[in-house]
Amino acid sequence: MASDFAQQVKGSVDIVRVIGDYVRLKKAGPERFAGLCPFHSEKSPSFSVHARLQIFKCFGCGKGGDVFSFLMEYSGLSFVEALHQLAEQHGIPIPKRREGAEADADAKHREALYRAHELAQQFFERQLFEAAGEEALAYLRRRGLGDATIRAFGIGHAPAGNRLLSLLERQGFGEEALVGSGLVGKPEDRPGYYDRFRDRVTFPIANQTGKIIGFGARALRDEQQPKYLNSPETAIYKKSAVLYNLHRAREPMHQKNRVILAEGYMDVIGVAGAGVGEVVASCGTALTQQQVRTLRRLVDTVVVNFDSDSAGQSAVEKSLQLLLEENFHVKVLELPGGLDPDEYCRQHGADAYRRQLDHARNFSVWLADRARTKFDLSTAEGRVDAFEFLKPSIHLLPDKIQRAAVANDIAERLGVNPGLILEEFRRSSADRGRRAAPPSIKHPLGHSERLLLELFLDSPEARAEMLPQTAEATRAQQSAGAAIFQAMLAAQESGEPFEFSAIEGRLQPRDREILSQIVFDRDRQPFAIEQGRSALAAIERQGWEREYRAVRREIVEAERNSDRRESLRLLQRKVELERRLGVLRPQA
């Protein structure tokens, strides 16, 4: 039953659409889509998705598989979790799961954590609009948030005391789930538990599918420290991998091919609440490489809009290095009057903020202006220091024309000769503009074997007619594709659906790689069944010719040994092979 349900789900979803929610895919052929691999860092796409076969493959890191494999690898899910997630997203009823010794303990633990966070979110939202949340609601009102925005972003209130703990205990959560959720703490010096979030405004943090996995919580009074308290890392929440609001921002990001990177929860809510939806923030940590790589798979352009204070400006500098390393087009937005994004949107409105976005400065201009405030450009020493400050970021640009334009911008703002700056970049970055070529397709299969392999993947009629003969002929000849055709035949005769994964799972790594290279070849063309028949005939003929040459050698050896019986048998076989080959061969 589990296998049947998995096949039902797999047959109901489109892997291109599923992966397209996590990776920006571009059409690269009639059935192939390409993008930057989500599993390793790269600047030229080596990640492919096959629309008809419903599989993916990265020729950079080697990862590949079906839609379940992708979700398991990308989100750290078990197979059961990936299956349930896809079923829920596509409205497919989930059969009741049998419990027992074989139940996935790790998956059950994560399911408990998701459930605990769901209950906590419902509890915090209710509390905000009850008497206990009066102070928290007044704070949000002062920040300009109306009820619609509050509810849209699920903002809530964690009351004083241990009321959430009591709720979770009544719902049957044990110690492992309570402490493991991060919602509850355990004192080191005494028994019992306590609510981690107390007397604070809460901001739910969701994963890319919209499930609540953690919380950020803001203090309501100055004496409460820290100002922001965030969930610890858990089995379902990894801070370095999560971006606040990404699940809502993903579609606007796709539409604009742009993301606005803000510093905090309120900045995101202020900007998104003003109608600019492509905005995200890191969750209580400095921007991480993993977060940057997540964004790179979705958009080409980042507008960094951090706070205007010194801490915010330093954070911009650090973020630029990470963003440029991933080949983003980077702009920096500094709002007039030193206002934070949510303050600016509240005071000036959405249209004014959009105009500011349209005029955001290129990162190099922002960096050059930043250098002018940090160094004394009236002295030679100051100009050298400024240049050294700017050089690491400019070196990360992969395109020579872009580096030349940036060099001119910097020279103008620093008051130095642009030729000197450009020459320095040329010396150390001359080859950075070269992009890696797509992986070449190299495999040991001959034309006929490759044609039949592709035809069998496409045509049930061709498999029924020719697969057994092909498997036998290539096995007898010990050809390069023999193991693949044997795996195809086994999958065909298993009674299960004939799928790429059923073939791949029966292969050794070398043959698995050969199969993937052929399937994802950008020059791959469809073949007709008549071409398959000709290819099979060519393979069989090759086998007969090889055997014919061997038989002629064996006849000479038998006659040399005066073995008349063996010689006669071989002569009969030679005549049979000549008949099959359709030619009159000279006697050996």
Q: 241-359 maps to which CATH number?
A: 3.40.1360.10
Share of the chain above pLDDT 90, in %: 39
Is residue 103 predicted with pLDDT exceeding 70? no
Which DSSP helix (H) or strand (E) runs through 282?
Answer: strand 279-282
Is residue 401 predicted with pLDDT exceeding 80? no
Is residue 150 predicted with pLDDT exceeding 80? yes
In this prediction, residue 68 has a pLDDT band, given cuts at 50, 70 and 90, of very high
CB 329 within 8 A of CB 302: yes
CB 288 within 8 A of CB 360: no
Residue 49 tokens, joined: 């998705």
Share of the chain above pLDDT 70, in %: 90
Give pLDDT, residue 319: 92
> Average model confidence (pLDDT) for the chain?
85
Domain 447-581 in this protein, CATH class: mainly alpha
* Fold that domain 105-237 belongs to in CATH: DNA primase DNAg catalytic core, N-terminal domain (3.90.980)
Mean pLDDT of 393-422: 70
Identity at 245, one-letter amino acid code: N
Model confidence over 27-41: pLDDT tens digits?
888 789 999 999 988
CB 513 within 8 A of CB 484: no
Q: For helices 265-273 and 341-348, what crossing angle results, to 10°?
A: 30
Give pLDDT, residue 277: 95
Cis peptide before 226 (omega within 30 of 0): yes
Mean pLDDT of 111-130: 96
Q: Parse the chain into domains and list their residue ranges.
A: 2-89, 105-237, 241-359, 367-429, 447-581
Mean pLDDT of 315-319: 91
Mean pLDDT of 385-396: 76
Give pLDDT, residue 101: 46
Model confidence over 530-559: pLDDT tens digits?
998 998 988 888 877 877 888 788 888 888
Distance, CA of 523 to CA of 518 (rounded, Å): 9
Name the CATH architecture for the domain at 367-429: Up-down Bundle (1.20)
The domain 2-89 having CATH identifier 3.40.50.1240: the answer here is no
In this prediction, residue 2 has a pLDDT band, given cuts at 50, 70 and 90, of low
Distance, CA of 157 to CA of 125 (rounded, Å): 6
CB 60 within 8 A of CB 37: yes
In this prediction, residue 435 has a pLDDT band, given cuts at 50, 70 and 90, of very low
